[in-house]
């Protein structure tokens, strides 16, 4: 079936350093999935950070970027300079490009930014 | 605009007890989703509705779980006889037709 893999359960980065959170996907039943990054800040609900629905395109929001790489089946999340306020849990997800838009999530990556 | 609301926020049960979760989606959103999120895992879809109709409940353990959305607005998810393996956060989300899903704060369930 379709799946999303996030290999790092926890990432710790010092403030102002760069960040990459890895995400790879398998979409055997979905030809060209839509790809998403969701974030849950402490004490808040899950919210959409960015999405990309076209292979080769880049999405960006709040200084974060992710590029839809169809060849590598990857959608890594990057930021050039993290802030303490970026500390949160980040989830990679995919959905069909037509039909239900049901989301399939990865297991999440807890980001801790040290001051 | 009010977001998705859920109640209760927390529930603690003994095995075998029943529990209901309630969700009020964003006004005007026709699609409503229920997800189960075990600790240290991502959310997993249980069931979703478009208006009052169930579109997909294939991941809902039908022997103990049920979900309804009778008027196409609010929804209730019920567990008849809870098991320790049901311990998780239950998330409700809503969306306009084929659009971004907005999530509620979740209900954290602990089954002892």
In this predicted model, what pLDDT tens digit does every residue of B58-97 receive, in sequence order?
A: 899 889 999 999 988 999 999 999 999 999 999 999 998 7
B42 with A93: Cβ contact below 8 A = yes
Count Cα neighbours of A89 within 13 Å in the Cβ-side half-sphere: 17
Q: Quote the pLDDT of residue B104.
A: 95
pLDDT more than 70, % of chain B? 98
- Residue A40 bridge partners (DSSP): A89
Count Cα neighbours of B30 within 13 Å in the Cβ-side half-sphere: 9
Nearest CA in chain B to A9: B40
Could you give the CA distance from residue B101 to residue B112 in angstroms, rounded to a whole number? 32
Q: What is the mean pLDDT of chain B?
A: 93
Interface contact B54, partner A, CB < 8 A: no
Q: Quote the pLDDT of residue A99.
A: 61
pLDDT above 70 (res B55): yes
Could you give the CA distance from residue B82 to residue B36 in angstroms, rounded to a whole number? 14
- Both tokens of A77, joined, read 């999340």
Q: What is the mean pLDDT of chain A?
A: 93
Q: Of B12, B7, B5, B77, which Cα lies nearest the Cα of B45?
A: B77
What pLDDT band is residue A32 in, cutting at 50, 70 and 90? confident
B42 with A101: Cβ contact below 8 A = no
Could you give the CA distance from residue B76 to residue B67 in angstroms, rounded to a whole number? 6
Name the residue facing A107 among B3, B41, B91 (closest C-beta). Answer: B41
pLDDT above 70 (res B15): yes
Cα separations (Å) of A108 from A25, A37, A86, B33?
13, 10, 15, 19
Cα separations (Å) of A92 from A9, A45, A60, A62?
12, 15, 14, 16
pLDDT more than 90, % of chain B? 86
- Residue B22 bridge partners (DSSP): B7, B76
- Both tokens of B57, joined, read 């409940």
Q: Quote the pLDDT of residue A97.
A: 66
Name the residue facing B103 among A9, A45, A104 (closest C-beta). Answer: A45
What pLDDT band is residue B107 in, cutting at 50, 70 and 90? very high
């Amino acid at each position: 079936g379709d799946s999303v893999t996030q290999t790092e359960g926890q990432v710790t980065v010092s403030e102002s350093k760069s960040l990459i959170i890895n995400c790879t996907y398998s979409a055997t039943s979905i030809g060209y999935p839509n790809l998403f990054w969701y974030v849950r800040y402490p004490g808040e609900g899950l919210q959409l950070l960015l999405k990309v629905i076209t292979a080769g395109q880049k999405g960006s929001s709040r200084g974060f970027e992710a590029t839809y790489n169809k060849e590598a089946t990857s959608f890594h999340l990057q930021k050039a300079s993290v802030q303490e306020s970026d500390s949160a849990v980040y989830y990679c997800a995919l959905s069909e490009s037509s039909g239900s838009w049901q989301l399939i999530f990865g297991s999440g990556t807890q980001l801790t930014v040290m001051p | 605009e009010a977001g998705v609301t859920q109640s209760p926020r927390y529930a603690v049960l003994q095995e075998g007890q029943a529990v209901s979760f309630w969700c009020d989606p964003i006004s005007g959103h026709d699609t409503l989703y229920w997800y189960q999120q075990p600790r240290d895992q991502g959310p997993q879809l249980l069931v979703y509705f478009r208006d009052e109709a169930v579109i997909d409940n294939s991941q809902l353990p039908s022997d103990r779980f049920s979900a309804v959305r009778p008027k196409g607005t609010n929804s209730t998810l019920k567990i008849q006889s809870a098991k320790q393996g049901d311990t998780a956060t239950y998330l409700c989300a809503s969306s306009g037709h084929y659009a971004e899903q907005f999530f509620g704060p979740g209900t954290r369930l602990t089954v002892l």
